[in-house]
């Protein structure tokens, strides 16, 4: 077993003020090249194009998740709760720190195009020929597999998994506070101190003392507001659409044998689906942005235009629509074709049901698998109940879907071809709307 540090290390942090590192293993993991790579991966992907302060990294978020987990465990141990297995402290802290180490550039957008999963890459990093694996093996030969099992949600003690992955875990608590701070909004703020005080280990689960229900209601309301005001923001969706179109077009061109003027080896292997772990670890947002800058000069006009749009924030406009059907979509596609545009790249119907975020859902429906443990309340008579049973507020927001369909398109290109569009299409795309005079 690795030893404690002779002198505690401290990180200054804008959200938690201080992050404390007391274990040699944690300190060594932070200093691995795989963990340091997270400095070059933004926490919120393309959201910085909507909220300019959202430049924070997966590195700072991962430290924050570690710190919240450390504080929860310290509270359990300080109060001597018998249901907390003390021998699970280090595996819990390591899983908290490393839970996002497998994220690639622009995270979920990249995963959607290339059908990858950051949790799979995380486990590959934990178990593969990496500095992180070497550090974990210094604890014990089976320790990397234990940490990976927590990430995979197969660890034999669910209470450890719940710390990192549940409806009220350290991951969610940190990213809500951190994302609110860096986007400059108040939606994501809640009383973290109060929540940490009312958490309890009980019968192999993490529960909330019933007197803390109102603090949890505040947390869930903050989460609900953050999803709809930040994570589901339609302008951010526009930038994500263009990002996905860039990689789609690049992959299409690659498969057709197109000769790129510039191509880095990891990107080529990404496009032909032959990424090794070594190649994957070279992928970061610096490399992606360099590619976009070079591809903006490519002879393929579509790829060049998409890259220029992303780099210079010339995003697609969106209009709200109601339940589009196939006939309607065909009519819109024909209008774009008549204007000399490419419907596969210049039109997208978006509805925010496919995002990696979700509002609180206490149970599974129609046989679906529950991914996250629900929030459980513990009353004075040691009875457990799911929070929406006791809370009118939580029950009112449970599973709500208030999303709208949006049609995204390049407005300026259609304005140039406005004369050949039907009145119906001009009205649909709102091409007659007056623009405010630039200040």
Judge whether residue 370 has pLDDT over 50.
Answer: no
For residue 52, with 0-12 CB atoms within 10 Å meaning exposed, 13-18 middle and 19 or more buried, which class applies? exposed
Report pLDDT for 432. 83
Cβ atoms of residues 265 and 279 within 8 Å: yes
Report pLDDT for 360. 65
* Percent of the chain residues past pLDDT 90, beyond the cut: 77
Residue of 196 and 392 predicted with greater confidence:
196
Report pLDDT for 439. 40
Judge whether residue 285 has pLDDT over 70.
Answer: yes
Report pLDDT for 400. 60
Question: At the topology level of CATH, where does 234-308 sit?
Answer: Growth Hormone; Chain: A; (1.20.1250)
pLDDT tens-digit map of 71-128: 999 999 999 999 999 999 999 999 999 999 999 999 878 888 888 899 999 999 999 9
Judge whether residue 368 has pLDDT over 70.
Answer: no
If you average pLDDT over every residue of the chain, what do you get?
A: 91
pLDDT tens-digit map of 122-152: 999 999 999 999 999 999 999 999 999 999 9
Report pLDDT for 435. 61
Which residue in 357, 20, 386, 19 sits closest to 188, CA to CA?
357
Cβ atoms of residues 228 and 34 within 8 Å: no
Q: How far apart are CA 337 and CA 346, in angstroms?
A: 10
Pairing, β 348-350 against β 376-378: unpaired
Judge whether residue 22 has pLDDT over 80.
Answer: yes
The arithmetic mean of pLDDT across residues 273-292, rounded, is: 96
The residues of the chain that CATH labels 1.10.3210.10 are: 4-231
* Secondary structure of residue 44 in the 3-state scheme: coil
CB-CB neighbours of 148 under 10 Å: 22
Q: What single DSSP character describes residue 361? A: -
Q: How confident is the model at residue 369 (pLDDT cuts 50, 70, 90)?
A: very low
Which helix H or strand E contains 206, and what residues bound it?
Answer: strand 205-209
Judge whether residue 178 has pLDDT over 90.
Answer: yes
pTM score: 0.93
Q: How confident is the model at residue 361 (pLDDT cuts 50, 70, 90)?
A: low
Which residue in 170, 141, 140, 164 sits closest to 152, CA to CA?
164
Judge whether residue 411 has pLDDT over 60.
Answer: yes
The residues of the chain that CATH labels 1.20.1250.30 are: 234-308
pLDDT tens-digit map of 204-234: 999 999 999 999 999 999 998 998 899 989 9
Report pLDDT for 366. 40
DSSP of 108-144: HHHHHHHT--HHHHHHHHHHSSSHHHHHHHTT-TTHH
Q: How far apart are CA 339 and CA 415, in angstroms?
A: 10
Judge whether residue 7 has pLDDT over 90.
Answer: yes
Report pLDDT for 359. 59
Report pLDDT for 393. 87
Region of poorest pLDDT, from 8-22, 159-173, 220-234, 276-290: 220-234
Does CATH number 1.10.3210.10 belong to domain 4-231? Answer: yes
Judge whether residue 8 has pLDDT over 70.
Answer: yes
């Amino acid at each position: 077993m690795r030893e404690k540090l002779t002198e505690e290390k401290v990180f200054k942090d804008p959200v938690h003020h201080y992050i404390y590192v007391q274990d040699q293993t944690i300190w060594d993991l932070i200093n691995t090249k795989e963990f340091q790579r997270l400095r070059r991966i933004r926490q919120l992907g393309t959201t910085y194009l909507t909220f300019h302060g959202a430049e924070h990294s997966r590195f700072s978020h991962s430290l924050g998740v570690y710190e919240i987990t450390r504080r929860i465990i310290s509270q359990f141990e300080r109060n001597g709760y018998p249901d907390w297995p003390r021998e699970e402290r280090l595996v819990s802290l390591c899983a908290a720190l490393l839970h996002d180490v497998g994220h690639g550039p622009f995270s979920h957008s990249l995963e959607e195009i290339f059908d990858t999963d950051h949790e799979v890459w995380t486990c590959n990093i934990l178990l593969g020929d990496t500095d992180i694996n070497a550090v974990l093996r210094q604890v014990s030969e089976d320790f990397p597999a234990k940490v990976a099992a927590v990430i995979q949600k197969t660890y034999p003690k669910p209470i450890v998994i719940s710390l990192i992955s549940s409806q009220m875990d350290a991951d969610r608590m940190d990213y809500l506070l951190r994302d609110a701070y860096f986007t400059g909004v108040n939606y994501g703020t809640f009383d973290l101190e109060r929540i940490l005080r009312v958490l309890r280990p009980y019968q192999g689960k993490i529960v909330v003392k019933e007197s803390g229900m109102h603090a949890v209601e505040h947390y869930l309301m903050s989460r609900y507001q953050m999803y709809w005001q930040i994570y589901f923001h339609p302008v951010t969706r526009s930038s994500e659409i263009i990002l996905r179109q860039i990689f789609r077009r690049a992959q299409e061109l690659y498969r057709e044998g197109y000769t790129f003027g510039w191509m880095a080896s990891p990107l080529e292997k990404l496009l032909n689906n032959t990424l090794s772990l070594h190649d994957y670890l070279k992928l970061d947002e610096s490399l992606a942005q360099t590619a976009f800058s070079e591809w903006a000069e490519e002879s393929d006009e579509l790829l060049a235009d998409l890259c220029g749009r992303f780099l210079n924030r010339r995003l697609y406009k969106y209009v709200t629509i109601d339940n589009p059907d196939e006939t309607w979509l065909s009519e819109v596609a024909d209008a774009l074709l008549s204007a000399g545009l490419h419907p596969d790249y210049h039109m997208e119907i978006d509805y925010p049901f496919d995002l990696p975020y979700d509002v609180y859902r206490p149970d599974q429906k129609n046989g679906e698998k529950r991914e996250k443990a629900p929030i459980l309340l513990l009353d004075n008579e040691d009875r457990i109940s799911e929070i929406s049973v006791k809370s009118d507020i939580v029950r009112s927001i449970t599973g709500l879907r208030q999303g709208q369909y949006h049609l995204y398109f390049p407005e300026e290109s259609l304005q140039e071809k406005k004369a050949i569009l039907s009145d119906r299409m001009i009205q649909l795309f709102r091409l007659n709307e007056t623009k405010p005079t630039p200040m």
